[in-house]
Copies of this chain bind each other. A is one copy, B any other.
Amino acid sequence: MDERKIRNMEEFASVSGISRPTVSKYFNDPTSVRASTRARIEAAIEQYDYRPNIYAMNQNRQLTKNIGIVVPYLADPFFGEIARVIERRCIEAGFSPSLFSSHGEAEQERDILDTLRSLKPAGVLLAPLGRTSDKSMIEAFCRDVPTVLFDSNIEGMGEAFVGSDNYSFVSQTVEYLSRTGEPPSFFEMKHPANPNANKRRRAYLDMMERLGLEPHVLQIDGTGWEFEEIGRKGGHDILSRNALRTDTILCSNDRLAIGLLSACYEAGYRVGRGSEHDLRVASHDDHPFSRYTCPALTTAAHDYASVSGHAVDTLFHLIESGVRFSTRDETLFSARLIMRDSA
> Which A residues contact B (CB, under 8 angstroms)?
51, 53-56, 58-59, 73-77, 80-81, 83-84, 87, 91, 96, 98-101, 103, 111, 115, 118-120, 228-229, 232, 258-259, 261-262, 265-266, 288-289, 291-296, 341
A59 in complex: contacting residue of B55, B81, B87, B120, CB < 8 Å: B55
A293 in complex: contacting residue of B59, B75, B111, B294, CB < 8 Å: B294
Q: Which B residues are CB-close (under 8 A) to A288?
A: 75
A74 in complex: contacting residue of B58, B80, B266, CB < 8 Å: B80
A282 CB to closest chain B CB, in angstroms? 17
Measured in the bound complex, the distance between the Cα atoms of B17 and A212 in whole Å is 72
Q: Which B residues are CB-close (under 8 A) to A266?
A: 295-296, 341
Q: Which B residues are CB-close (under 8 A) to A232?
A: 292
Contact B74 A258 (CB under 8 A): no
Q: Which B residues are CB-close (under 8 A) to A120?
A: 55
Q: List 26 A-B contacts (CB under 8 A).
A: A54-B55, A54-B119, A55-B55, A55-B56, A55-B58, A55-B120, A59-B59, A74-B74, A74-B83, A74-B84, A75-B77, A80-B101, A84-B101, A84-B103, A87-B103, A96-B115, A98-B98, A99-B99, A99-B100, A229-B291, A259-B292, A265-B294, A266-B295, A266-B341, A293-B294, A294-B294
Closest to A57 in B: B55
Secondary structure at the A interface, as helix, strand, loop or mixed, is helix
Give 6 nearest A-B pairs by CB, closest first.
A75-B80, A74-B80, A265-B294, A294-B294, A55-B59, A262-B292
Q: Which B residues are CB-close (under 8 A) to A87?
A: 101, 103
Q: Which B residues are CB-close (under 8 A) to A262?
A: 291-294, 296
A81 in complex: contacting residue of B75, B98, B99, B295, CB < 8 Å: B75
Contact A76 B77 (CB under 8 A): yes
Contact B83 A101 (CB under 8 A): yes
Measured in the bound complex, the distance between the Cα atoms of B261 and A259 in whole Å is 16
A109 CB to closest chain B CB, in angstroms? 13
Measured in the bound complex, the distance between the Cα atoms of B229 and A296 in whole Å is 13
A335 CB to closest chain B CB, in angstroms? 20
Measured in the bound complex, the distance between the Cα atoms of B259 and A175 in whole Å is 30
A31 CB to closest chain B CB, in angstroms? 21
Contact A228 B292 (CB under 8 A): yes
Q: Which B residues are CB-close (under 8 A) to A118?
A: 51, 53-54
A80 in complex: contacting residue of B54, B76, B265, CB < 8 Å: B76
Closest to A118 in B: B54
Closest to A73 in B: B80
Contact B101 A99 (CB under 8 A): yes
Known: A55-B56, A77-B80. 18 other contacts (CB 8 A): A53-B59, A53-B118, A54-B118, A54-B119, A55-B55, A55-B58, A55-B120, A74-B77, A74-B80, A75-B77, A75-B81, A80-B80, A80-B101, A84-B103, A99-B99, A228-B289, A259-B292, A266-B341
